[in-house]
Amino acid sequence: MSHPKKNITLQKKQNLFGWAVLMPAVFLIAAMSFYPMIKALILSFETGIGAKMRFAGFLNYTRMFEDKIFLQALMNNFIYLIIQVPIMLIMGLILASMLNDKNLKFRGLFRTAIFLPCATSLVSYAIIFRSLFSVDGFINLLLVKLGILSSGYNFLANPISARAVIIIALLWRWTGYNMVFYLAGLQNIEYSIYEAAKIDGASPFQSFWQITVPLLRPTILLTAIMSTNGTLQLFDESWNLTNGGPANATITMSHYIYNLSFKYVPNFGYAAAMAYLILILVAVLAFVQMKVGDKRD
């Protein structure tokens, strides 16, 4: 006890040093991330206009299920999720296994070309898609020239086609991104397994289904969770491509949250409650996916 310093073992010393190194980062995350999150949670239990907030309990959380626009936005988000995410992940998988073929020429070029959309800014690609699908845009021009349509079709004025345009845009933007994860995962699969399967007479489809998919399961799980998360937080496409229209048919939850905070009479409590609902949804969906997807015992 008279020499407390000697009581600190080497391991403890190292631990302390480790904590000391971590502290600045921990402090920054706590101050910049956790503190606002807790504040937002408290805010979500308050209501009022602008700066005049009062405690309201669970009012905001019950209120949003009576909010027709919010329910519409929630439904839109789930339409995007259910249709777009599976198509994107399957396409990503197929592309990745095709581009993993060692005998394919210009592999690097193809990989780059498919990945490149991810490098474009969210705002600019949304605007480009908007002009592509406008009445006198490129797609209509093509359809008219090919004789499929007699005059330009206003894709963004019809609820179904407007959602389809958003889904197509999302596929273009994100398929390559997920493909890269699969490609990375595929590098960990011994190529000789495929060669062995080939010798045993497995068709490409069989080796895809029996080898690639099971061995990539952790990566597929990761991309599924990330895509779910991303889709529930969609904002740029709704904002820039369709502006939520026609008649709120494409508005997303994040877009509605933005409107509530900055376009309409500000009600930050209500907006914060919605943001927390998105968090809960993401957490629940990720949990379900982990339970379903993770087969390790």
Partner 1 sequence: MIKKIISSFVVAAMALSMVACGSNAATTESAKTEPTKEAESKGAEPAKEAEAAPAADDNTLTVWCWDPAFNVYAMNQAAEVYKKDNPNFVLNVVETPWQDVQTKLTTAASSGDLSTLPDILLMQDNAFQKNVISYPDAFTDLTDSGIAFKDFGASKVAYSTVDGKNYGVPFDNGAVISCLRTDVLKEAGFTPADFTDITWSKYIELGKVVLEKTGKPLLSMQAGESDLIMMMLQSAGASLFDQEGKPNIVNNAVLEKVLSTYAELVTSGILIQVNDWDQYIGTLTDGTVAGTINGCWILGSIQTAENQKGLWEITNMPKLDGIQGATNYSNNGGSSWAVTANCKNVKLANDFLAKTFAGSVEFYETILPSSGALANYIPAGKSDVYGEPQAFFNNQKVFSMITEFASKVPSNNTGVYYYEARDAVATALTNTIAGADLKSELETAQSTVEFAMGQ
Contact residues for partner 1 (CB under 8 A)?
A: 47-51, 63, 66-69, 108-109, 112, 116, 119-121, 123-125, 127, 130, 134-136, 154, 156-157, 240, 243-248, 259, 261-268, 270
Chain-centroid distance, C-alpha 53:
32
Rank residues 155 and 181 by Cβ distance to partner 1 and give the closer one.
Answer: 155
In the complex, the smallest distance separating the C-beta of residue 12 from partner 1, rounded to whole angstroms, is 43
In the complex, the smallest distance separating the C-beta of residue 52 from partner 1, rounded to whole angstroms, is 8
Rank residues 198 and 263 by Cβ distance to partner 1 and give the closer one.
Answer: 263
Rank residues 16 and 123 by Cβ distance to partner 1 and give the closer one.
Answer: 123
Cis, peptide link before residue 266, omega less than 30° from 0:
no
Rank residues 167 and 272 by Cβ distance to partner 1 and give the closer one.
Answer: 272
In the complex, the smallest distance separating the C-beta of residue 122 from partner 1, rounded to whole angstroms, is 8
Rank residues 156 and 253 by Cβ distance to partner 1 and give the closer one.
Answer: 156
* CA-wise closest residue to 208 among 90, 94, 102, 101: 94
Chain-centroid distance, C-alpha 96:
19
| Residue 190, C-beta contacts closer than 8 angstroms, at least 6 positions apart | none
Rank residues 233 and 259 by Cβ distance to partner 1 and give the closer one.
Answer: 259
In the complex, the smallest distance separating the C-beta of residue 221 from partner 1, rounded to whole angstroms, is 28
Chain-centroid distance, C-alpha 14:
39
Cis, peptide link before residue 246, omega less than 30° from 0:
yes
In the complex, the smallest distance separating the C-beta of residue 197 from partner 1, rounded to whole angstroms, is 29
In the complex, the smallest distance separating the C-beta of residue 93 from partner 1, rounded to whole angstroms, is 23
> Which residues pair with residue 47 across a beta bridge?
54
Token pair of 102 as six digits = 């060692």
Q: Phi, psi at residue 47, to the nearest 5°?
A: -140, 165
State the number of CA atoms in the 13 A half-sphere of 64 facing the CB: 26
Helix (H) or strand (E) holding 46: strand 46-47
